[in-house]
Chains A and B, each alone.
Chain A
Amino acid sequence: MLSLVIFLPLAAALVLLAVRRIGDRAAVPVWIAVAAVDLALVLVLWARYDGAGLAHETRLRWIPSVGAGYHVGVDGLSLPLLAMSAVLFLCCAVYSLRSTPRPRACAALFLALQTVCLGLFAALDLLLFFVFFDLSIVGMYFVIAGWGHGERARSALQFFLYTFFGSLVLLLGFLGLYLGSAPRTFDIVDLTHDPPLTGSPGVAALVLLAVGVGLAVKTPIVPFHTWLPPAHTDAPAAGSAILAGVLLKMGTYGFARIAMPLLPDAWRRYAWVIIVLGVVSVLYGALVALAQRNLKRLVAYTSVSHMGYIVLALGVAGLAGDAAAHRLAVTGAVTQMVSHGLVTGALFLLCGVLYDRAGSYDLDRFGGLARAAPAFAVLTALAAFASLGLPGLSGFIAEFQIFAGTLGGGAPVPGALALLGVLITAALFLHVLQRTVLGAPGPLTARVTDLTRSERTAVTPLLALSVLIGLAPRWLLDTIEPASTALINALAP
């Protein structure tokens, strides 16, 4: 069943490529239908999940001579991310209904990318995880190079080189874990039960460094974030939404799924390093975003900042201190992954609307959009408030738990500093709203017509889910909390 969820989009992509009779007109509707079916299947998986441990597991031999297998399964950590990814891919499909060049190839590529993303969040084998991790780079490369704008070839190449480097360093780290385990295996579940390298802290530190750098490039954590702004600027709107919404989560998910439970001693020893990197990302991302005039770069830098909260929370979980507070921080981190995926996905799709109408992301050349495009203005305002963490929206639920966990979990100073990041983010989003939505019309305002039906249908569910999580988060937290408890237990000395 889980394998069906993972590989259904890929199968559909192959059919789209192979059957030429499905013309360009039918391609996007087929894409929407497949994404909708896949989302429904994910929800069925979630509904049948009993709330504890791993479920829906499949375990097959793949390369037995090195102990690698096809092992997939879901728990409270992966289910919310699977569902969020399926929602975001469906919304991107709907968004692409109007005016996508070469729709058949585009639909096939996004469907294949969906398989890669879902596969990664379900993978329970290091090698399988790496395969999906690497393929996500290939898929996104083709999205940027094929459907981007501006200097897309250059940005795509830079994206590929930078993140491919990260993924190979990650592979070295995985090989370190493999060679340090006895009996040798790549299986994440087996390695969690019996963490490798417990007897050799020096090697464990090096392996954590390799795994950490590999995941930090993907997340991205300052100072490994420089690939992100150009990739976002030149990517198409749907590509940006997937890149920020799903691909960045691969990094943070990797920390929670692999780095923490497999290297618990090293994680605890270097928790402060991780906390500092998280705080630096929060503040640096927010400050640089404040200085941007290009709306898309601005949203990209707020992503760096938001990923920083997650890293901070996961770092705090490695400190000595109150386990309940740590659990709160980890739950907040996972909630933040879901929330950021929904909200930033919506923000990038809205950026795409501006570029589609006016061919520019320049903040200074818009203004008074509330009058010209009221639906656009309302949704942008909602997304901005969700992103800055206003109560009643998902960002608040996530960040509140992170701060409560950080302050109570033994890191009051980093917690206070990160709170400063929320202030800056609030300021910058209010500034954005002032400059674009309110005020006097800018030179490009006249070109901006309001959202089309497909655009509205694509963005609204993302923000509706954010409101739902903000007002009634219990259903989500009930799924995540057992997984957080398990993670804290695995991390306990």
Chain B
Amino acid sequence: MGMSENPVDLLPELCVLGGVVVALLTGLFVPRGRQWLAVALGAAGAGAGLIAALVAAGRGDGMTFEAFLLDPVTHVTRVTVLGAALVVLALAAGPLRGHRRETEFTVLVLLAALGTILLGASADLLVLVAAYLLASIPAYVLAGFAKDARGTEAALKYYLMGALLGVLMLAGVTVLFGLGRGTSYATLSQNLAHAPPGAVTAGLVALLAGLLFKAGAVPAHHWVPDVTEGAPPVVAAFVTTVPKIGAFAALFRVATDVVPSSAPGPELFAVLAAATMTLGNLAAFAQTNVRRLLAYSTISQAGYLLVPVAVATRTDLAEPALLYYLAAYVVTNLGAFAVVLTTNTDTLTDYRALATRSPALAVSLAVLLLGLIGTPPTAVFVGKLLMFTAAIDAGYTWLAAVALANTVASVFYYLRWLTPVFTRPEDPPPPPRLHRPTILLTYTLATATLALGLLSGLTLLP
């Protein structure tokens, strides 16, 4: 693996950072009515970063600055995070146009995205902690962005949990540093094998606390429903989607590069995966608020995403499974939130007879929800297929069976949302306020989930 200290290797991250700085400065000097200029400059930075990331993905693997890995996991993390951040900025264009703190929103989203990329690319525990903070703190602020009672409560809960689990994570890093005599993954993987397994396991569990918090997985999932429901919808779309990408990339690296074979890593991840998908599903059953329903759905999806992490060391299929599922989930989940933003309502019953009011939106919602179930030929289906295959290949057939049972159960609540959409109208609710660009974005995301599934061969070429 090539080592270097070439700043060009970090071009995508530098582009985003440049975008952040330029946007912040522009926002300070332009009047409120023209804040879109700052937003556009920030988005341009992220767009440039996305292009740089796509170009970089064609190059070979390596490591830069002794802490930043350049490999498929990083490439996919960069592309999905920046793509998702751009989608979130586009989704925010409707509700936040002319808002007093429009620039701040852009800056916070981009900073959190930057932290998320670092989280996923880091090969050193100290960088991981710094990335955790960079990814988390802007997200806390975003959760309270609306300055209303529910948003504030959500932000406080989010912050307190994040701070607590962050401290725990730092403690874990300290323990592993002591045991492994270093913080880089390479050093740790050499030294931890000879350290006492009990202490290593304790350190790992503490380290995982922070990563599971970012991933929204059990047992660090309690913030997800509150933030998803309490924060503005566009923020909910962001915090349930983007931080997960970096968290799962980091979890995958920890599982493959740090956990020594003496520690019960795969077993631990497998149990967490089963618990996460099951608890998320069970809680989703009774929801009547679509954002809360989506919140629990993202928890159960985090459970499926933990399956490839559990089998990371046992099958070559784990890496494509994780990366493909992540990208598929991000597109589909953002699409579902785009529908919520388009219709501007959270109540399940308000979706009655949506098909008669806006057939194309109803079809998009059907594609997206069936996509979240994992119906072919959508993208999540391919992700789930790879996930099942990886689990069985690694000898975790029981985990595949649990995931299967959960998938069947999830049909129930996704269809609870979908069924009223296609009912015949008796007293249809008033037509929703539809924001034109958001609708187009929804259609694009729904089409993207189909295209990503049908053309998966192009993205999965070995």
Contacts and interface: CB of A to CB of B under 8 A. Distances in A.
B392 A179 contact: yes
B396 to A, nearest CB: 12
Given A146-B422, A171-B388, A161 B376 contact: no
B457 A61 contact: yes
A17 B404 CA distance: 34
Nearest to A132: B376
B377 A131 contact: yes
A66 B460 CA distance: 9
Classify chain B's interface size.
Answer: 20 to 34
Contact of A168 (B377, B386, B393, B404): B404
A443 to B, nearest CB: 29
B412 A62 contact: no
A172 B404 CA distance: 9
Contact of B462 (A64, A127, A161): A64
B415 interface: yes
B457 A64 contact: yes
B376 A62 contact: no
A interface, over-half SS? helix
A142 B366 CA distance: 10
Given A65-B460, A168-B408, A175-B392, A160 B376 contact: no
B462 A65 contact: yes
A470 B423 CA distance: 43
Interface in A297-347: none
Interface in A447-493: none
A153 B419 contact: yes
Nearest to B320: A65
A176 interface: yes
A172 B377 contact: no
B461 interface: yes
B411 interface: yes
A62 B457 contact: yes
B415 to A, nearest CB: 6
A169 B389 CA distance: 13
B389 A66 contact: yes
A176 B376 contact: no
Given A63-B382, A66-B389, A176-B392, A161 B419 contact: no
Contacts of B460: 63-66
B113 interface: no
B419 A157 contact: yes
A262 B127 CA distance: 51
A146 B389 CA distance: 35
Contact of B461 (A64, A164, A179): A64
Given A171-B385, A172-B404, A134 B376 contact: yes
Contacts of A157: 412, 415, 419
A160 B422 CA distance: 15
B74 interface: no
A66 B411 contact: no
A15 B32 CA distance: 45
A66 B386 contact: yes
Given A145-B419, A161-B411, A172 B457 contact: no
Contacts of A131: 376-377, 381
A272 interface: no
A153 B412 CA distance: 12
B306 to A, nearest CB: 19
A64 B386 CA distance: 12
A323 B370 CA distance: 46
Interface in B411-443: 411-412, 415, 419, 422-424
Contacts of A179: 389, 392-393
Interface in A166-202: 168-169, 171-172, 175-176, 178-179
A121 to B, nearest CB: 17
B288 interface: no
Contacts of A168: 404, 407-408
Given A146-B422, A161-B412, A168-B408, A63 B389 contact: no
Nearest to A130: B376
Interface string B10-33: 000000000000000000000000
Contacts of A62: 456-457
A138 B422 contact: no
29 contacts: A17-B359, A17-B363, A62-B456, A63-B457, A64-B457, A64-B460, A65-B320, A65-B460, A65-B461, A66-B385, A130-B376, A135-B375, A135-B377, A142-B422, A145-B419, A153-B423, A156-B419, A160-B415, A161-B408, A161-B411, A165-B408, A171-B385, A171-B404, A172-B388, A172-B401, A175-B388, A175-B400, A178-B389, A179-B392
Interface of A: 17, 61-66, 101, 105, 127, 130-131, 134-135, 138, 141-142, 145-146, 153, 156-157, 160-161, 164-165, 168-169, 171-172, 175-176, 178-179
- Which 8 pairs, one residue from A and one from B, show the smallest C-beta to C-beta distance? A131-B376, A65-B460, A165-B408, A168-B404, A63-B457, A62-B457, A65-B462, A134-B376
